[in-house]
Amino acid sequence: MNSGQRSVSLNPLHLSADQMRALGYRVIDLIVDHFESLRDKPVTRFADRAFLEQRLREPIPEHGADPAGLLYRIETEVLNQIMHLDHPRFFAYVPGPGNFVSVMADALAAGFNVFSGSWLESSGAAMIELVTIDWLRQLCGFPETAAGLFLSGGSIANLSALAIAREIKLKGHNAQATLYFSDQTHSSVTRAAKILGFLPSQIRVIQSDPDYRLSLADLETRVAEDRNAGCFPFCVVGNAGTTNTGAVDSFPEIAEFCRAEGLWLHADAAYGGGAVICDKGRARLQGIAGVDSLTLDPHKWLFQPYEMGCLLVREAAWLGETFKIISDYGKDEELGDQHINFCDLGIQLTRRFSALKLWLSLKTFGLGAFRTAVERGIDLAEFAEAVLSECSKCEVVSPARLGIVTFRYAGGGKRSLKVLNELNRAIVFRLIEEKFAMLSTTELGGMVVLRFCIINPATTQTDIRETVDLIVRLGDELSSEYPD
Ligand SMILES: Cc1ncc(COP(=O)(O)O)c(C=O)c1O
């Protein structure tokens, strides 16, 4: 066959170039329309199971169908039944403001089906991951001995960090080992400890101080008590931006204590870590450069589409010591220490090329644009705190910290805690019905609070004001159902 000819494909999964272009352009149009119309879309949308069963349950298709028609179904029956975590008025949980450049990078990574497990199979991709990880290392102030890798998200990064801490500190002697963190720590840490085989009796959850931070004095006491009782304290997990309130534990002091006691210190900066790129955020995250390992999710405050987490460790060798196992069929991939096989640094062998999206978006927009975007979230949360403080019906419960402010609708009456808790939960359900904005609740010391998490750079002050006004209106409307 000369190069001008095309063979008739025998591949049953083949599309012609024209068919691929038609499908691809339609997909791009859908995505661009989504970005362009997002602000005008309803923030909240979800359907109940019966409704979706009726529309989407069907037998496995033996024969194919036109992708254009299927795309229409995806648009109307699937993508219209999701909340938009990237909407400028989505303030619940941790929002997911992405960016178009990274979406395209994900398409490229999938299109070329890059295998980011070994140098031999994807040397260019491995180099981009090394470079991008090194940028994050520098931003976090880690030493040059540090290394890291991209993972699916914070849960897997926290799991990997605890696996490394266990390997390095315990060498398999787990029975007496104890680990420590505050009651504000993300549930993924407890889950990680459970997966790794630690029993509830080995986990010390320390009550946080009035600022929702780990109390060093209580930590010291618990560690000393445990040593006296024959336990083997080995690891502390600190929070660099709790999901509840954005609180940051006092890393400089905790790190000093951990060093003196020979304890591993892991920082969960999955949410807050992105703030390290701006002055205000870096000041809040003081001391994170001194930890042994750190979780930071680019799919949170570095504006990347899901799934993208990151783990950094202080000494590159710890990753290999924990995870490297060479299989019989993988020996030709051993090209020497300089040629990193990322599959040796973590849990996954087959890995997607996530680094590309962070690399391409940082190169396209520049760190300065990311910095401005992060600063915006920090400033808007402070603005929200000011608006809430002026509102006679609301009470600020925790001040603006790393983009999060918590409060409750109190209505000016004298309702009991129980009634106020129910009322504030009810407000969220009404918000979901209204579709204008989305906030979620959390609990602080038995109090149900509403939580603004403001990290979307498209959010405006008007969005905040209108959302507070709506919450007050809904609270007022619900008040008669929740009497004093
Ligand atoms: C502080 C913190 N740690 C860990 C996680 C878990 O991250 P992921 O959902 O990416 O697994 C979250 C998620 O919100 C978080 O806020």
pLDDT tens-digit readout, 303-319 = 999 999 999 999 999 99
CATH topology of domain 369-481: Aspartate Aminotransferase, domain 1 (3.90.1150)
pLDDT at position 5, please?
55
Average pLDDT, the chain: 96
Choose which residue among 243, 299, 404 to substitute to test ligand 1 binding: the one with the highest number of ligand atoms within 8 A of its C-beta. Answer: 243
CA of 270 to the centre of ligand 1 (A): 6
The domain made up of 106-365 is a member of CATH 3.40.640.10:
yes
* Closest residue to atom 5 of ligand 1, CA basis: 154
CA of 160 to the centre of ligand 1 (A): 13
pLDDT tens-digit readout, 147-158 = 999 999 999 999
pLDDT tens-digit readout, 202-223 = 999 999 999 999 999 999 999 9
Q: Which two tokens stand for residue 68?
A: 């254009």
pLDDT at position 428, please?
98
CA of 156 to the centre of ligand 1 (A): 9
- Within the chain, all domains assigned CATH 3.90.1150.170 are found at 369-481
The atom number, within ligand 1, closest to the CA of 154 reads 7
Residues 6+ apart with CB under 8 A from 475: 393, 409, 411, 423, 427
The atom number, within ligand 1, closest to the CA of 299 reads 10
pLDDT at position 332, please?
86
* DSSP letter string, 312-367: EESSTHHHHHHH----GGGGGG---TTS--GGGSSS-SS---THHHHHHHHHHH-H
Query: Is 3's pLDDT higher than 60?
Result: no
The atom number, within ligand 1, closest to the CA of 239 reads 1
Core vs surface per residue 321-358: b (16+ CB within 10 A) or e: ebbeeeeeebeebeeeeeebbbbbbbebeebbbbbbbb
Contact yes or no for 140/68 (Cβ under 8 A) = no
Residues 6+ apart with CB under 8 A from 162: 179, 189, 192, 193, 196, 235, 237, 266
CATH topology of domain 17-82: dopa decarboxylase, N-terminal domain (1.20.1340)
Q: How confident is the model at residue 1 (pLDDT cuts 50, 70, 90)?
A: very low
pLDDT at position 7, please?
63
Choose which residue among 90, 91, 93, 94 to substitute to test ligand 1 binding: the one with the highest number of ligand atoms within 8 A of its C-beta. Answer: 94
- Within the chain, all domains assigned CATH 1.20.1340 are found at 17-82
- Within the chain, all domains assigned CATH 3.40.640.10 are found at 106-365
Question: With pLDDT > 90 as the criterion, what percentage of the chain qualifies?
Answer: 94
